[in-house]
Structure 1
Amino acid sequence: MRKIRVLIADDQPLIRSGLCATFASAQDIEVVGEAADGLEAVRAVKTLRPDVVLMDINMPTMDGLAATRQICAEQPTKVVILTIYDQDEYVFEGLRNGASGFILKNAPIARLTEAVRHAADGDALLSPSVTRRLIDQFARQPVATTSAPTLDQLTERERDVFRLLVRGYNNEEIAQALMVGDSTVKSHIQHLYQKLGVRDRVQVVIYAYENGLVPAHPTG
């Protein structure tokens, strides 16, 4: 069984040690490195090639948001923001910078391991309250008016999946709505990611609302 390779970036040694101990009991997760600031994290990702980075926000030298932006622009590694701050400005900037999820440091151990697994699988992990705030935030923003992309590059079924993803449907719900199997849904989602040049579900939502590709308040 191939293990999920994780890098922990946090300026507090006790936090890093605690997270290492947390993942020690997970048979499918391996901590391959640590970083004490954002710059160390960027360098470590280049050398260690982890699958997922757990990224703190407030760190010296380079903060976690800047490090996330650089990592996501240069590497296939997924980033999950790990912080004590459940504030919109951190959530939105982290997600805009390419993060695949956002989880609080006081989350239960099971939630942390779930976040790593979801990110490694290409899914996004956000609490329902964060997802609602994210959609509301983009629904209030003006739509791009120049060179806005369309969904013409998607097949009809991929467009159906796109609309359901933006509405917050999970894979099981999409499969039920379209009356197809889970593996078919996963295949459509991967093709959709490739064609739109996005990394995960959160990036699909951002893409959709920034380009006015869905109604501000979808129903159904």
Structure 2
Amino acid sequence: MQRIRVLVVDDHRIFAESLAAALAAEPDVEVSAAGSGPAALRCLERGAAEGRRFDVLLVDADLGGPVGSGPSAVPARAGDEDGIVDGMSLVTGVRSVHPRVRIVVLAEKDDPRRAALALQAGAGGWVAKDCSLSRLLTVVRGVLRDETHLPPALLTGVLRELTAARKHRTESERLVESLTPREREVL
């Protein structure tokens, strides 16, 4: 039986430890936990250096999220190195450095916009933090088979968000195409 190496990344220690303990009870799962994006990157690097790469990252959607909102929001963890201060930037960073690692985002609530952003960043799944262990294991095993997993109730909203993003990108491309060569050079 091939073991699945999972890294839980959540800055809520009790949740991370509880989830790690529940997953570790599975005979085919080996699990570790990290409390921040930089700690997760260090775990991934250490695992790769030791020839024990992680297969799946379970990332808190609200990992180190901003305090407040809008452009003046500040990171909850000032001083996080590598620019990794939230779950979505961790997803992007891991996918660029460790493309074979599959990522599942754990969320307290379903949010089609954030789920779409997670998928665009490279996540393979979005699940509720309060889902059953069997559901979570189904998603973990599914993303390892390159499946994308979303709650059915979220699918319509995510598709709407992705379609809107594509439409916006197309309009932006048209605007850029209408520029003169000099305008493009300046841009």
Say whether the fold is shared (TM-score over 0.5): yes
Other-structure match for 1:63: 86
Identity %: 26
Task: Please point out which of 137, 143, 147 is paired with 1:119.
Answer: 143
**Aligned residues of 1:81 and 1:94 also touching (Cα < 8 A):** yes
Give the number of equivalent residue pairs.
Answer: 146
Other-structure match for 1:98: 122
- Secondary structure at the counterpart of residue 104 of structure 2: strand
TM-score by length of 2: 0.71
TM-score by length of 1: 0.61
Other-structure match for 2:3: 3
Letter aligned with residue 140 of structure 2 = V
- Please tell me whether residue 144 in structure 1 is matched to residue 167 in structure 2: no
Partner Cα separation in structure 2 for residue 116 and residue 71 of structure 1: 17
1:108 is displaced (CA, Å) by 1.0
**Aligned residues of 1:4 and 1:120 also touching (Cα < 8 A):** no
- Please tell me whether residue 24 in structure 1 is matched to residue 1 in structure 2: no
Partner Cα separation in structure 2 for residue 95 and residue 102 of structure 1: 8
Q: 1:95 to 1:123 in 2, by over 3 A?
A: same
Instruction: List per-residue Cα deviations over 1:123-143 (Å, max 9, x = no partner).
Output: 111111222222222333416
1:85 is displaced (CA, Å) by 2.7
**Aligned residues of 1:4 and 1:29 also touching (Cα < 8 A):** yes
Larger CA Rg, structure 1 vs 2: 2
5+ unaligned residues in a row in structure 2: which ranges?
A: 48-52, 65-76, 174-187
Coordinate RMSD, CA, aligned: 1.9
More strand by share: 2
Partner Cα separation in structure 1 for residue 10 and residue 151 of structure 2: 22
- Secondary structure at the counterpart of residue 170 of structure 2: coil
Aligned pairs for 1:200-219 (under 5 A) are none
1:56 is displaced (CA, Å) by 0.7
Instruction: List per-residue Cα deviations over 1:55-95 (Å, max 9, x = no partner).
Output: 01222331111111000112110110012031123212111
5+ unaligned residues in a row in structure 1: which ranges?
A: 147-220
- Secondary structure at the counterpart of residue 86 of structure 1: coil
Letter aligned with residue 30 of structure 1 = E
Other-structure match for 1:51: 55
Partner Cα separation in structure 2 for residue 77 and residue 90 of structure 1: 20
